[in-house]
Each structure stands twice: as C-alpha cells, then as structure tokens.
Chains A and B, each alone.
Chain A
Amino acid sequence: MDMSTLLIYGLSLAAIYGLMAIGISLLWSSIGMINMAHGASFAVAGYAAFSVAELAKPLILATLGKSFAGTVAMAGLCLSAGALTGAMMGALIYLLAFLPIHDKPNFAVRSLIVTLAINLATVQLLLWFFGPKQRNLPKIFGLGKVEFLGLSARYDQIGTILGTAVILGLLLFWLKVSRKGLEIRAMMQNPEGAVLSGISVRWTALPVTMLTGALAGLAAVLLSQSIFVSPTSGAMPLIKGLTISLLGGLGSVPGAVFGAVIIGFLEAVIGAVPWLGQRYVLFGTFLFIIAVLVIRPRGIGGLLDKARK
C-alpha cells in the first residue's frame, strides 16, 4: 500500500471515529454520562438507513433512474434516515438513562449500566428482527476513483472525509453561536455554575443526547459505505469512540478530533506494515493510548484541573 492510499484511508477512518468520539465526549462532559448505548444508536441507525433505502429504491429508480439526481436523493434519504433514527435513539437514551436518575445518587455508574442494558437489548432485538446476516447500504457517493495531485481515493472515502468535515464544522459553529450551544458549553465548563445561572439540566441534556445520537447515525451511514451493517456492528465504533474521546481528553472537541486523526493514521499504518497486519491494530492503538495516558493523565486536550471528575 503506498503512502497516498494510506493517507486517505487514515483520514476516512479518523472521520468516522471522530464523529463517534465527539458524541461520547460531548455527552460525558456536558451531562456526565458514559453512553454505552452509542454503539446501539450506531447499529439501529445503520439498519434504519438500510430499510429506508430498500423501501425507496424502486421509487427512486422509477422516477429519477440511474442518474446523478437519483444518487443524490438516495444519499439524502439515507443520511437523514440515519441521523433521524440516531436522534430518536438519543431521545430514548435520554428518557431511560438520564431523566429518571440524573438527580439521584450514583448517577454516573447507574447511567452506565442503563445504557449498557439498552445496548444489550437493542443488539438482541436487531438480531431478532433482521437476523445475523450482514447488509450493505447503497453506495451513496457512487462507485469509482478519483486521482488528484497524485493521490488516489475512492468516492466513498472522499465523501466520508468531506461529509464529516462539514458536519463537524456545522456542529462547532452551532455550539459557538446558538443560545443552546452556549448553554451546552456552560454545562461542560461548570455544571453547578450553569445550573446556578438558570440553565436547565433537563432541557440541555435532551438536545445533547439527540445531537450525539444523530452524530452516531451519520457515522453509521458513512461507515457503512466501506463495511456492512450488522447487529453487532456498533461495538467496534463504540470502543474506538470511547478510547479516542479519552485519548483526546474528555470534553475537548479539538482533542477528540486530534485523537481521531492520530488513531486513524496509526491504524492505517499498523494495518499496512507487513509484519504487523490488521490483527495487531487494536493491540497497537491500545498500547499507544496507554502510553499517552501514562504521560498525560487527562488525555491530549484534557484540562489538568478537575472540571468534571
């Protein structure tokens, strides 16, 4: 594998991991919840996009045919179905794992267990309804390669990288300028102070959970361009997202992005080195993360003071 393929592959991995990691990081730093059901949101959104695509395929073929417009319509449909389902899963997580217990003792551990239970149940239900068979989504970016400045990249890789960049840009912009974004950022900095300034925990948590769910849904649709949708397909992105958000420092969006890029490239490199190969990918990344955490106990971008324990 030459350098350019490696670069594009690493960036596309980084894009998807970044989407997952920022969701987990945002959720933890603003409402203090480790979302183990993030992978479930991912899988459910993947299946929702798959079902919608299956339903809409004949219709789009009939009206638009195999044209550019048809691909665009399919892409829009898949992405919006994924994002909507992810947001709905986020709302479900909010209703089950946040709303009833957010002001009770042991919230952190209890919400972890509740989201774990949601994850278990969702994976089982998906297995029940769709079976263990892997499905693949329509190629929303089309098939083909593009050569640019000596770099060769597949359409779906470019689509993933650009799509993620746009989504993250929009997210950061929204966090920066909107009233809700301000409230969320206040919550991240100092939850107690935010509450004292009249910011409602409940009405901040709902958009955060829905937003992170939507991010997981988008990540699912984007990742399914390169791999398949299966009931357990959420487990790996969840682990990756969790580790990257910790590597980047919980609550730090730039840290998460940076961590995602590092890990994406690390994985691409380890996978490409002949005497290491794909099976050593997790091994290598974990060793790297442990090394980083031992040197910097609060991750790359994490604050060294105790913002949220």
Chain B
Amino acid sequence: MTDTRIPGKTYYEIGQRPQEITLKVDGAKPLHRHRLPFTRRHLLKWRSRLNPKTLRQERMLADKKPLWWTLALGLLLVSAPFLSNSALTVAAVFCMFSAINVLWTLIIGTAGIFSLATLAVVGVGAYASAALNVYLGLPWPLMFVAGGVAGLVMGALLALPSTRLDGLYYALLTMGVAEICRVFVQQLKPLTPMNGSINNVQGFIPADWALQRPGLLLGFAGAFVLLLLALLTFRIVNSERLGMLLQTAREEEAYAEAIGIDYRRARMQVFLISSAGLGVTGAFYAQYFGSISPQVFSLDQLMVLFAMIVIGGLGRAEGAVIGTALVVLIDKGLLDLGPLRILLVAAIMLAVTLTTNNGLTGIREQFRGFRRRRQSEARARRTEKGGEVMPEEAIDINDKQAIYYRRFDKRLRDRLKALVTPDVIEEHRQKPLGQHSDALSRLLNYFRRGEVADKYAIIRQAGNFHSYKIVAFSGVRGAPPRLVDDRIYTDINEAYHAVFLLRVNDLMES
C-alpha cells in the first residue's frame, strides 16, 4: 500500500495508543505460534486484529507483562555477581520475602481469605524442618518436603474456621494463631533450648561456605529459584482453572454458586496450596539463615510484610514484588540511616496509600480512569457547545458518515444562526406562508429537513374552529407527542409563527 500522505503537510497521531508495538502480518506465510511444552499455552499473547485506521491486518502484543518480568528478573540475576556481600544478602532477603508475599497475595487476592497467619505458617514450616534436621539428621533436600507438609497441616488447621468467620474476625483469629505459635515455641524447652530458637541448621549452603562469597552467591541463587517457583505457583493457581472460578465468585458469589461453582472448595484448595508453598519457604528460610528464632512470629514483622503488599498493590504478583523491593531496599539496604529509615518506610506507606487506590501497580489503572473521566467531561462540554465530533470521539464512532454529517451540520447551523435577525422574524410574522426572502427561505428549508424528534405540530382543538395548540413530537414510535404549553392560538398564522419561533429558539440554543 502506498503512502497517501501529502509531503510537507503536518499530520498528527490521534487515538490513545499510537505507539503500540505491532508486527506486520505477511499473508504469504502460515501463522506459526510456539507453545510451551506439554501445555497449550503460548509464551506471549499476540493478537491479530484489523487496524481500523490503516485498514491493515496486524499482530499486537496484548500483554506486555511477561517482557517486563523477564527484564526485571534478568537484570537482578545478571547484576547479582557484581553486588557486594551485604547487597547480595539484601537481594536474597528480597527474593525470600517476595516469595512469601507472592504466596500471601494468592491467599488474600485470589482466594479472598484475609489471613494474617502467613508468617505463622512460614515459621511452623521452618521450625518443623529445622527440628527434624537438627535432632533427627534429616538431609536438607527432604527439609523442603517436611516444611511443605508442616505448612499444609497448618494451612488445613487454619482453613477450618475460615468458612465460618468473616473478614476482620478471621484476620484477628489468624493473628492470635501467630501469637500462640510464638509462645508455644518459646515454651518448648527440649526442642528449642536457646530462648526459643533452633541453631546450627544444616542447609543447601555447605557449612564451610557460610558467610563466604560462594556461600552468599549460592544462597542468593537458591532464593532466586524460590522466587521463581513462587511466581510459577502464582501463575498456575491464579490464571488457570482455580483462579478463573474464584474470579467469578469474587464478582458475584450467589451467581457463581448458581452456575455450579463450588467457590468455598476452590478457596480452600488455593489456601492449602499457598500454605504448603509457605511451609517450603519456611524450610528455605531456616536453611538460609542456619537458624530460626521466634522473631518470625512477631506482629511487627507481619505488619511490615503486609505494608509491602499494600504499597505494591493488593492482589497482584507484581505488586507484591515491587512493594517488597521498595521496603526491603530501604529497611535492609540503607542500614546507615539508622532509625530514619523506619520513618522513611512510614512516609512511603503514607504517601502511597493516601494517593493511590490500589498501590503502586494500581497507578496505571487509576491514571487511565482519571484520564477517561477528564476526556468524557471535556467531550460533554464540547457536545454541549456545538455537537461537532472531536478527534478523540471520532475513533469511537464506526460510521464515519455520521462524523462528517455532524461536522457539516455544525457549520450549517453556525451560518444559519447568523441569518436570524429581527427583520427575518418580522417578515415571517407578517407572512408565514408564501414567497420569502433568501435568509428566511434558507432557515425554513433547514427546519423542514430536520428530524422528527426536533419538530413541532399544530393540533386543532376538537369542537372549535380556529383554536390551535402546539405539540412537540417525541421522535419515538408509539410515544405520543407532548403539549408544549397550554396557550391556545386563534389564528393559524399566529400558530405557524409560534412554531417558527420555537424552532429558531432551538437553533440558537443548539
């Protein structure tokens, strides 16, 4: 297709997304899309569409998030070997907390269960696996299994009352569970001799590598893999069958139940899966630090984690990761600042929650909503003024003829308005029918051409000669005309003139 643009003339891009990434479609080649092995999923969400402006077929990337994920995680992985030892620890802690938060997001966002026992489950997994390792000599690969099983059992215990209690009451109950775990662990003297903590846990990091460079690198690598696994779990649970069922249930519970979705069961399943994942994370936690202390059950730690996911945006994996990155970077990365960094975290929490509706990842949507509102306001203002179609509105109207007609009509009305003078009105008053001046005939011609909805009619009152009333058509078939006012005209010419005045009035107001 040749370019029809006139050289030298300035063209403006219109529409909301002129810079969208698109691929040209080669009609000669068959469409080939790679699938992930053993699944029916594609790596990227390419969508074919007809571009309504260029009238060409194109392929558009409908979901660019995988690209951003790859970029961010790839950058983290590539930059890890160049980080200092302390930064490497911060990165590993970030990965671990992100994994916890992603799984927690699954519970709060996908399952819609407001549980605050996340760290309790992590702690139980950690304690169970650490105790098995230290006292029974369980090898470290099996610790993950032990942690997962412990998490699952804990999750099952916690899941029982969740169907009965709602919202806040359940949150409190889970908070109480964390406190019970803390006290219980501290009192379990034979298992936890050191003031409630278990030390010297053997993990995937060899003992002689501990706190050395290779050990730290290995620790980071492990935490990174853990984060990837958590994200994979999130993807599989949230965007596949279970997540779809629960999304329906979130919007309308009664409806979901009516079409046969057992959303309670689905919620339980998500809760159990995430709890098992959290247990595995706990086992990793114990291995990474080589010890586990009751600090993991503390309310402060839990609230900081909750602040992370709220800052990032509740219910989204990227929100959990971004929020964690921000808070961990300040809390653990800027240790030089001392107590000031807690104030900084508090200030960020304040600023983010006060300005955004759903955390940092919700900003985009919030901005779009704001822009859409502004646009429709402006559109309403313009429509009031002239009725001409503006470029932004034009892309929403499929019938392009309508756009040109409205533009023509607007200009015509502008010209006709200039023709309305006292002389013309006086001329019509004296002689409503018959030959008229040029200006008056143009006006009357325009009025006659109008749509029925804009028109008026004269009704002769039954039983009376020379008694007329004016009605306005509804423009809707079956809906009767409405009386304009009660005034009775005794002269037909007077009535003609009254209709003319009404139409002139409408014209001047449009």
Contact = CB atoms under 8 A, between A and B. Distances in A.
Interface of A: 28, 34, 36, 96, 100-101, 104-106, 109-110, 113-114, 116-118, 120-121, 124-125, 127-128, 235, 239, 242-243, 246, 250, 279-280, 282-283, 286-287, 289-290, 293-294, 297-299, 309
A106 B168 contact: no
Contact of A282 (B169, B173, B179): B179
Given A128-B339, A298-B169, A283 B179 contact: yes
Contact of B339 (A127, A286, A293): A127
Contacts of A250: 168
A110 B353 contact: yes
Interface in B136-182: 161, 164-169, 172-173, 176-177, 179-180
Interface in B161-220: 161, 164-169, 172-173, 176-177, 179-180, 183-184, 186-187
Interface of B: 161, 164-169, 172-173, 176-177, 179-180, 183-184, 186-187, 299, 303, 306-307, 310-311, 314, 339, 342-343, 345-347, 349-350, 353-354, 357-358
B169 A118 contact: no
Contacts of B311: 113
Contact of B186 (A104, A279, A289): A279
B176 A290 contact: yes
B353 A105 contact: no
Contact of A34 (B168, B173, B357, B358): B168
A224 B67 CA distance: 57
A279 B354 CA distance: 39
Contacts of B164: 294, 297
Looking at A113, A116, A235, A282, which has the most chain B CB atoms within 10 Å of its CB? Answer: A113
B180 A124 contact: no
A59 to B, nearest CB: 34
A106 B307 contact: no
Looking at B184, B299, B357, which has the most chain A CB atoms within 10 Å of its CB? Answer: B357
A188 to B, nearest CB: 15
Contact of B183 (A110, A282, A293, A297): A282
23 contacts: A28-B168, A36-B303, A96-B354, A101-B354, A114-B350, A114-B354, A118-B350, A120-B346, A121-B346, A121-B347, A124-B339, A279-B186, A279-B187, A280-B183, A280-B187, A282-B179, A283-B184, A286-B179, A287-B180, A290-B173, A293-B169, A293-B173, A299-B169
Q: Is the interface of A mostly helix, strand, loop or mixed?
A: helix
Nearest to A283: B183
A64 B81 CA distance: 72
Given A106-B358, A120-B349, A121-B347, 11 more contacts: A100-B354, A114-B354, A116-B303, A118-B350, A239-B179, A243-B176, A279-B187, A283-B183, A286-B176, A293-B165, A299-B169
Contacts of A293: 161, 165, 169, 172-173
A86 to B, nearest CB: 20
B343 A124 contact: yes
A309 B346 CA distance: 28
A123 B164 CA distance: 36
Contacts of A124: 339, 342-343, 346
B169 A246 contact: yes
A299 B184 CA distance: 25
A117 B183 contact: no
Contacts of A297: 164-166, 169
A109 B310 contact: yes
B357 A309 contact: no
Contacts of A243: 172, 176
Contacts of A120: 342-343, 345-346, 349
B214 to A, nearest CB: 37
Contacts of A242: 172
B180 A283 contact: yes
Contacts of B299: 235, 239
Contacts of A110: 310, 353-354
Given A243-B176, A283-B183, A293-B169, A106 B357 contact: yes
A235 B167 CA distance: 22
Contacts of B306: 113, 116
Contact of B353 (A114, A282, A298): A114
Contacts of B166: 297, 309
Nearest to B178: A286
B349 A116 contact: yes
Contacts of B165: 293-294, 297
B348 to A, nearest CB: 8
B119 to A, nearest CB: 15
Contacts of A34: 168
Contacts of A299: 169
Contacts of B314: 106, 109
